[in-house]
Amino acid sequence: MNAALALWRNYNHRYDDNYDVVETPKGEYIVCQTDEVEYINASFETLSKDHSKMDYEHIQNIRTDYDPLNHWEEITGMFSIAHGEVLRYILFANVLLERFIRYELASRGYDKDFKWVGFEEAEHIWLKDE
């Protein structure tokens, strides 16, 4: 499993008992289905903590992948359907997309673990803990 998929599965299934994070003898981590843990015998990739150091070559590889991971397809899709002038404005005006994302998440009423907490609590979580 590649590191990007492991990171996504670790995040996406953080409360699902069907997946486990397994530490390798080298101190690296993988995410696999619980019933496969005892059969794992492969080379491992380090589980990245985030993608903040992603470069343009990495993005190009994601965009040109024949069968991209679903979360990359959704993320790139959000930008590919946006009008070019809007994208240029976002860069020109230094629009903080993180704040728009936080506002959107707050308006849905869920916490950081996707549990319903109500709109007031979600606003506190997403907008006040920045």
Residue pLDDT tens, the chain, 130 long: 466 676 777 677 666 666 666 666 666 666 666 666 565 554 444 455 678 888 899 889 888 888 888 888 999 999 999 999 999 999 999 999 999 999 999 999 999 989 999 999 999 999 986 6
pTM here is 0.63
Q: Determine the Cα–Cα distance for residues 119 and 108; give it in Å rounded to an integer.
A: 7
pLDDT score recorded for residue 99: 95
Distance of CA 121 to CAs 8, 14, 59, Å? Answer: 26, 21, 35
